[in-house]
Amino acid sequence: MLNTNLKHIESREQIEELLKTNENVMICCGRMGQMCIPVFGIMQKLEVEYPHIQFRDMDFDIPAASFIRDLPECSFFMGLPFTVYFKNGKVVKATSSIQNRKQITDILDEVFKA
Task: Out of 3.50.50.60, 2.40.30.40, 3.40.30.10, 2.30.40.10, select the CATH number for domain 7-111.
Answer: 3.40.30.10
Pick from 19, 14, 60: which is nearest to 36 by CA?
60
Three-class SS of residue 35?
coil
- Which of 36, 40, 33 has its CA nearest to residue 97? 36
Q: pLDDT by residue (tens digit) across 56-74?
A: 999 999 999 999 999 999 9
Closest CA to 39 of 13, 60, 66, 24: 60
pLDDT of amino acid 1: 78
Q: What count of other Cβ atoms lies within 10 Å of the Cβ of residue 67? A: 19
Specify the pTM. Answer: 0.97
5-24: pLDDT as tens digits: 999 999 999 999 999 999 99
The residue extents of the domains of the chain are: 7-111
